[in-house]
Amino acid sequence: MAGLVTAVRARELGLDAVVYEKGTRPGGSMLLSSGVVWRHREWEQFRDECASGDVRLQRLVWERLDEALDWLRSVGVPVLQEDTENPLTTGKRFDTRGLTDALVARVGTLRLGAAAPLDGGAAPLVLATGGFGGSPELVTRYVRPAAPLRLRANPWSTGDGLEHALARGAALSEGTAEFYGRNMPDTPWTEPEFVPAAQLYARRARIFDEAGVEFFRAEDVSWSETNVVQATAHRPGARAYYLLGEDALADPGVAERLGPTLAPRELPFAAPPETAVAVRVVASITHTIGGIRADEQARALRADGSVVDGLYAAGVDVGGVAAGGYASGLAQGLVLGLVAAESLAAA
């Protein structure tokens, strides 16, 4: 999202832009997502949800998203739904293939299978590499899960942007130990299952780890379930068991998501008597929440707040927007992509 948006907006503003995509196709993890681009409906709710996040960047995303969604429509992106169907959020759902194709058609120069020349050239550079969720080494260094996390995203977001920015003197943001992901069935799954296979019913379950420790209460599960996924990442094997009673199984919202089930006798610990079935889940990572420190003009910043000349960041390469909670990575990519292009044009 961020790289394509930056390039399209830059061309609108009369700039030449080249997108280097080291993967085999454009679209990154945007193409694999639900396509819902959203913001919290109320500003105070955003702050409550992501209380340790960068207030300036949060305000930027929250204030500019509506006009950014209009911009997406103006460049021909097909809208599937006019709202999110979530009372806590507002936004739109786009067809991700149509979204990718509409942006690619306006990019200009797109070099597939090509790493960007990060050798100190004079041209301004916008880092939009999708964070570092695809790098087990960096995830271990910053997130520190109990076991390697399954990747629920494109395989090319391996921290190239972060490492380049740090080498040029940029600082880390808040939230480097945090990530957005889903608890998924502890079975093999592929890209088409990233969205439908997510086990999104933690509030209806009792949650145990492999040692039989009930480590998360259903009443503490956030609306996005991000906090229970992060907690699962720090349990043995980065796994958990969702124990469900008959009342939970009767819930259509549970039934449509339910992964492969285990009978209580198949658990490695004694199940509570009300348990009807269990689902073994594994923590997966979609994108990182921490990353490069940046300002409201998408410029990379040093620890002292000074600007790294010629270096910009967009999307989830920018860290700290959702620190402490969860916010839309697609919205972050869209708004910061527009801002990065506009900052370049004004420079």
Per residue in 305-346, pLDDT (tens digit) is: 999 999 999 999 999 999 999 999 999 999 999 999 999 999
pLDDT band, very low/low/confident/very high, at 120 (cuts 50, 70, 90)? low
pLDDT band, very low/low/confident/very high, at 123 (cuts 50, 70, 90)? confident
Give the pLDDT score at 115.
87
pLDDT cut 90: percent of the chain above it: 96
Residue 39, pLDDT above cutoff 80: yes
pLDDT cut 70: percent of the chain above it: 99
Task: Name, in order, each residue with C-beta under 8 angstroms of 188's C-beta and a sequence gap of 6 or more.
Answer: none
Task: Name, in order, each residue with C-beta under 8 angstroms of 11's C-beta and a sequence gap of 6 or more.
Answer: 17, 106, 107, 108
User: Are 312 and 340 spatial neighbours (Cβ–Cβ below 8 Å)?
Assistant: yes
Q: Mean pLDDT across the chain, nearest whole number?
A: 96
Whole-angstrom Cα distance, residue 25 to residue 16?
21
- 3-state class (DSSP) for residue 244: strand
Residue 38, pLDDT above cutoff 80: yes
Give the pLDDT score at 106.
95
Burial of 219 (0-12, 13-18, 19+ CB in 10 A): exposed
Residue 118, pLDDT above cutoff 90: no
- Residue 115's CB is within 10 A of a number of other CB atoms, namely 12
Residues 212-247: tens digit of each pLDDT: 999 999 999 999 999 999 999 999 999 999 999 999
Least confident of 70-84, 105-119, 170-184: 105-119
Give the pLDDT score at 50.
96
pLDDT band, very low/low/confident/very high, at 116 (cuts 50, 70, 90)? confident
Residues 264-315: tens digit of each pLDDT: 999 999 999 999 999 999 999 999 999 999 999 999 999 999 999 999 999 9
Domain residues of the chain, as ranges?
Answer: 2-179+287-346, 183-285
CATH number for the domain whose boundaries are 2-179+287-346: 3.50.50.60
Residue 205, pLDDT above cutoff 70: yes
Q: Tell me the mean pLDDT in the region 134-158.
A: 98
Our separate counts of H helices and E strands in the chain read 10, 16
Whole-angstrom Cα distance, residue 114 to residue 23?
8
**How far from chain centre, in Å, is Cα 301?**
22
User: Are 231 and 215 spatial neighbours (Cβ–Cβ below 8 Å)?
Assistant: yes
pLDDT band, very low/low/confident/very high, at 119 (cuts 50, 70, 90)? confident
Give the pLDDT score at 121.
65
pTM (2 d.p.): 0.95
